[in-house]
Amino acid sequence: MKTVRVGSRDSGLAVIQAQMVIDAIKKYDSNIEVELVTMKTTGDRILDKTLDKIGGKGLFVKELDEALRNGGVDITVHSYKDMPMEINSELPVVALSEREDERDVLILPANQGDKSKPLGCSSKRRMLQLKALGFDNIEPLRGNVITRLKKLDDGEYCGIILAAAGIKRLGLENRISRYFTTEEIMPAACQGIIAVQTRKGEDTRYLANFHSERSKIVSDAERAFVAALDGGCSSPVAAYAYFENDKLVLRGLYVNEEKNIAIKGIEYGRAEDAVKMGISLAKRLKGEAC
């Protein structure tokens, strides 16, 4: 009997996302034995510093990559937005989920909060766009979703900004006070998409029920845009691709912090040109900033 060991971070949201993959494997073949292996990553352990100070979101995949290399697990499950732009060719991404809600959301305290407290936010991308919307008292906030919600409800913040996808997957949609449109806050590249990684050459046909080719196309465009700008996971650049009928649309945000420049742009094209679109839009926005 075939056994598939699924590696995941140990947070509540990560386990739910891993369970989505497990359910898809079981649907493909109920005879496959599936084991969940959870672990705490470096990014989960270091919570007193912002990600850009400790090496970026690649720290959320380090231990999981090692488990793949040494055979401790067969596949690993990630939020695609947390993965580095450069992926080891020996550990390819082999399946992507349908995209959940890509927007960012505002969550207020369960009880009456103190409006003098700061707004909690985990990324430069969000901070920059929130300031453009008139939010000025913003402080960094680390930890998994449940930890952040507890800090909010304990009175440390007047509100917090999180990804809608995670809140919905946790079944906490009732906590959402405001959805920001993608024009107000452009999402991180691949926000709302779950990625599955494995070792090169592995047979992963059992992921057929999980993979979305549509997510592959939009994520290729978004990641190509960010990569072309040398933007790591802690960079404030943002990208959002979607389909309008049969046409692929890519919107991007380029930020030059040294020059205090933020430029948005849009590119239209074909699905098969997703990567070219990302590179083209990046070059155009970078040129406009010069």
Q: Give the catalytic positions in this structure.
A: 82
**Is the distance from CB of 169 to CB of 100 less than 8 angstroms?**
yes
d(CA 54, CA 64): 18
Helix (H, G, I), strand (E, B) or coil at 254: strand
Alpha-carbon gap, residue 36 to 41, rounded angstroms: 16
Residue with tokens 């056994």: 3
Query: In terms of DSSP bridges, do strands 3-9 and 75-79 run parallel, antiparallel, or are they unpaired?
Result: parallel
Residues 235, 226 contacting (CB under 8 angstroms): yes
Residue identified by tokens 């990600």 is: 51
Whether the CB-CB separation of 248 and 221 falls below 8 Å is answered with yes
- What are 160's two structure tokens? 């917090």
Partnered with residue 120 across adjacent β-strands are: 139, 160
CA 153/CA 160 separation, integer angstroms: 10
| Cα torsion 269, 274, 280, 282: sign | positive
User: Cα separation of 283 and 286, whole Å?
Assistant: 5
What are residue 78's phi and psi, to 5 degrees? -135, 155
18 within 8 A of 194, measured Cβ to Cβ: no
Residue 249, beta-bridge partner list: 242, 268
CA–CA distance, 81 with 195 (Å, rounded to integer)? 9
